[in-house]
Amino acid sequence: MAPPHQLLLLPLLLLAAAAAAAAAHARTRPPSTTDVPPRAPTPWPEQFHAVMFTNLTESGGRLQLIDLYYDWPRGRNLNLIRDQLSGDPTYDVEWTNGTSFIFDSATCRIIRFPVGLLPPDWLAGATYLGRELVDGFDCHLWTKVDFVWYYEEVATGRPVRWNFFNGMQQHVMSFEVGGVLEDSEWQAPAHCFNGNNAAATSVAGDRVDSKGGRVDVMNSLIRFAEAPAVSASF
């Protein structure tokens, strides 16, 4: 049997644990004023480098680690995709004129999309769904016409996670504002340009529909969201 002084300590320990839990709760739920729904997600910086832990298991794929370089002023976006336990990374280089080069060290595919890149304010007009603890971060959650669920950290405005209509879940592991990749890394290799290896595809006409800005953003979003899955089936 425990000596009496230890029995006396037990309620104190429970009290301390409860106080710690309350303090933790208070940290994740700051009071009133910040509970006013924010109008829109923080626009993307014009240039950033993010490392994305990507989970494609709900869309028929596996896990990927992706270096994402978004470079709006230069009209380009790059996914450097590493599949789990695979040595040869896949590059997905997307240009604002609609051309995407998807290549590894041996093969290349050129896809022509009828749409450009996502603009930095592509989340404007998204529907606010409230606050949620996701990946351990206190986040605001928005959705854009049920195509994307976008989680942004309340305290910093950084993106934490986005989930797409196609089942892809991306967790932001690092987010470096202003991070750029040197020009040479964007250059598609020679084997993209010799007829034998390169396969060119044009994305079908039903995607060409662009009656207004909103439609363009949605089509750009489809282009953005499908790149990791395309590379997985590569």
Ligand X SMILES: *[C@@H]1O[C@H](CO)[C@@H](O)[C@H](O)[C@H]1NC(C)=O
Q: How far apart are the C-alpha atoms of 155 and 114, rounded to whole Å? A: 38
In the shown chain, the binding pattern of residues 48 to 77 toward ligand X, with x for contact by CB under 6 A and - for none, equals: -------x-xx----x--------------
What number of other Cβ atoms are within 10 A of residue 207's Cβ? 16
User: 233 has which bridge partners?
Assistant: none
What is the size of the binding site for ligand X (CB under 6 A)? 8
CB nearer to ligand X: pick between 55 and 231: 55
Q: Does 95 bind ligand X (CB under 6 A)?
A: yes
Opening angle at CA 5, ends 3 and 11, nearest 5: 115
Opening angle at CA 12, ends 6 and 13, nearest 5: 80
CB nearer to ligand X: pick between 26 and 63: 63
Q: Which two tokens stand for residue 128?
A: 């606010």
Tokens 């964007």 -> residue: 186
Q: Does 202 bind ligand X (CB under 6 A)?
A: no
Helices (H) and strands (E) in the chain, counts: 2, 12
Q: How far apart are the C-alpha atoms of 161 and 95, rounded to whole Å? A: 24
Least Å distance between CB 26 and ligand X?
29
Least Å distance between CB 93 and ligand X?
8
CB nearer to ligand X: pick between 128 and 147: 147
Least Å distance between CB 171 and ligand X?
8
Stretch that binds ligand X, among 6-14, 94-102, 117-125, 225-233 (CB under 6 A): 94-102
| Of 49, 93, 78, 84, the residue nearest 65 (C-alpha) | 84
Q: Does 97 bind ligand X (CB under 6 A)?
A: yes
Q: Give the footprint of ligand X on this chain (CB under 6 A).
A: 55, 57-58, 63, 95, 97, 99, 169
